[in-house]
Homo-oligomer: A and B are copies of this chain.
Amino acid sequence: MTSPLEYILAARRCEIDELERLARTSELVSLIGRYTHALQRERGITNIFLATDSPEFANLRLLQVAECESLAAQVTSAFEELATGEHRVRNGARLFNRVAVALHAQQGLPELRGRIAARALTPRGSTAAYVRLIAGLLAVVFEAADSAGDPEISRVLVALFNFMQGKEFAGQERALGGAVFASGTIDAPTQREWHHLIEQQQHCLDASAEFSDADVLAAEEAGRDHRAIAQIERLRRKGLALGVAGHALPGSGTVREWYDWCTVRIDTMRTVEDLLTSRLRGLCERKIEEAQGALRDQQASMESLQRSARMAPSDAPRQFGPQLEHSVYEMVQEQSRRLQAMSDELETVRAALNERKVIERAKGLLMAHRQLSEDDAYKTLRQMAMNQKKRISDVADAVLAMAEVLPGPK
């Protein structure tokens, strides 16, 4: 391989390779979406199961656990598939480490469910365990979005990740509200947490919308169930006021009502998520086809270039040589420009993921400086954000800025 032309083809083949890898990762992301959705529902049902003695929710829970187990098996084997093609994974170390974290939480699930069945856990404790499990799965999606080398695909992955994260906050709200309505009471920290979950949902959905195309936005708008939203807003108002003396206790049906309306909304969100994942799949397929077509075109024009160079009369090299050289130069330059533009756009898209990275860094800093667990570090950031009425990412920024004047961890 001494010709630049062959390296242009090699570069294109690397692109195709990367796109095929992304297609596989996208399948995994779509599966994680389905599993997360089922786990969110299990969390919501479990909370009401723990807070009441409703035989209906006991039954619902068992059905939901069965669905989750079947999806978990699919996710696990998708992870396995990813690992057997180990060398073809970009950012493999980070991705597999995220998988290890997710699987570790997954392995604790049977024991967690045992304690729930024995009612040996509070709704709060159960929620926290499911939140950790889902966070582990979403971190795998985040890594996939962060390591995507194609800007268009990265764009959809960023929209999807933010949407999944927003939906997860909606799920956390469903669980929290369920526990509040079941207990018939709310304290000040829970009130703040509830407000915060509402804000975080909105923030993630806005971030997702920023990277969604018009079709997805239109579908989201069309599918929005305004009746459910109105009911949720009414119940939020009731639930948040439970702490205020003089307010009437909710009727016994309120728990079910809250759960059902939240579920209607979250299931609608799931259809948008589904649309985004099928968009992702279609995009990967289209890009692979395009790249393969471009490769074929390049091969053809190279062959014709080489043919005309060979056919040129031997006394006219001065005429054909420069012409051939010029075409090769054009081809190389065109590819350079295209790769440069892609990499510029990729940088812009990826910047949207920085917010989360800043939070991760600030968390790591608090863990090191104050010997906090990961959970407690996040709670500290969230508490600071709630106290200062700021977004968590702003607080995280401030923590990192402060770190420069702090001594290192002992």
Q: Is the CB of B13 within 8 A of A100?
A: no
Q: Is the CB of B7 within 8 A of A336?
A: no
Q: Is the CB of B94 within 8 A of A4?
A: no
Q: Is the CB of A1 within 8 A of B94?
A: no
Query: Closest chain B residue to A88 by CB distance?
Result: B87
- Render A82-126 as a binary contact track against B, CB cut-off 8 A, 1 for contact: 010011111111111101110110011001000000000000000
Q: Is the CB of A103 within 8 A of B4?
A: yes
Complex Cα–Cα for A11 and B5 (A): 35
Q: Is the CB of B339 within 8 A of A94?
A: yes
Q: Is the CB of B328 within 8 A of A104?
A: yes
Q: Is the CB of B2 within 8 A of A103?
A: yes
- Render A296-339 as a binary contact track against B, CB cut-off 8 A, 1 for contact: 00000000000000000000000001000100110011011101
Say yes or no for A220: interface residue by CB 8 A criterion. no
Say yes or no for A12: interface residue by CB 8 A criterion. yes
Q: Which of A10, A80, A91 has the most CB of B within 10 A?
A: A10
Q: Which residues of chain B come closer than 8 Å to A10, judged between CB atoms?
A: 83, 86, 92, 96, 99
Q: Is the CB of A97 within 8 A of B1?
A: no
Q: Is the CB of A100 within 8 A of B1?
A: no
Q: Is the CB of A3 within 8 A of B103?
A: yes
Query: Closest chain B residue to A373 by CB distance?
Result: B333
Say yes or no for A260: interface residue by CB 8 A criterion. no
Complex Cα–Cα for A234 and B252 (A): 95
Q: Which residues of chain B come closer than 8 Å to A2, judged between CB atoms?
A: 76, 80, 103
Say yes or no for A361: interface residue by CB 8 A criterion. yes
Query: Closest chain B residue to A321 by CB distance?
Result: B111
CB-contact partner of A332 in B3, B97, B149, B341, under 8 A: B97
Say yes or no for A57: interface residue by CB 8 A criterion. no
Given A93-B339, A339-B97, A83–B7 Cβ distance below 8 Å?
Answer: yes
Complex Cα–Cα for A285 and B343 (A): 31
Say yes or no for A221: interface residue by CB 8 A criterion. no
CB-contact partner of A329 in B87, B104, B149, under 8 A: B104
Indicate the size class of the contact surface on chain A: 35 or more
Complex Cα–Cα for A107 and B2 (A): 9
Q: Which residues of chain B come closer than 8 Å to A96, judged between CB atoms?
A: 7-8, 10-11, 14
Interface residues of A in 1-46 (CB under 8 A from B): 1-8, 10-15, 17-18
Q: Is the CB of B328 within 8 A of A340?
A: no
Complex Cα–Cα for A135 and B7 (A): 18
Complex Cα–Cα for A18 and B111 (A): 37
Complex Cα–Cα for A322 and B88 (A): 35
| Nearest chain B CB to A214 CB, angstrom units | 20
Q: Is the CB of A93 within 8 A of B12?
A: yes
Query: Closest chain B residue to A72 by CB distance?
Result: B2
Complex Cα–Cα for A83 and B10 (A): 7
Complex Cα–Cα for A302 and B89 (A): 24
| Nearest chain B CB to A241 CB, angstrom units | 40
Say yes or no for A243: interface residue by CB 8 A criterion. no
Given A1-B83, A86-B10, A103-B7, A15–B333 Cβ distance below 8 Å?
Answer: no
Complex Cα–Cα for A10 and B85 (A): 11
10 new A-B contacts at CB < 8 Å, known A11-B93, A17-B92:
A2-B80, A2-B103, A7-B100, A10-B86, A10-B99, A11-B97, A11-B100, A14-B87, A14-B89, A97-B339
CB pairs A–B below 8 angstroms (7 shown): A1-B80, A1-B83, A11-B92, A17-B86, A87-B87, A97-B335, A337-B364
Which 5 pairs from chain A and chain B are nearest by CB? A14-B92, A11-B96, A7-B100, A4-B100, A4-B104
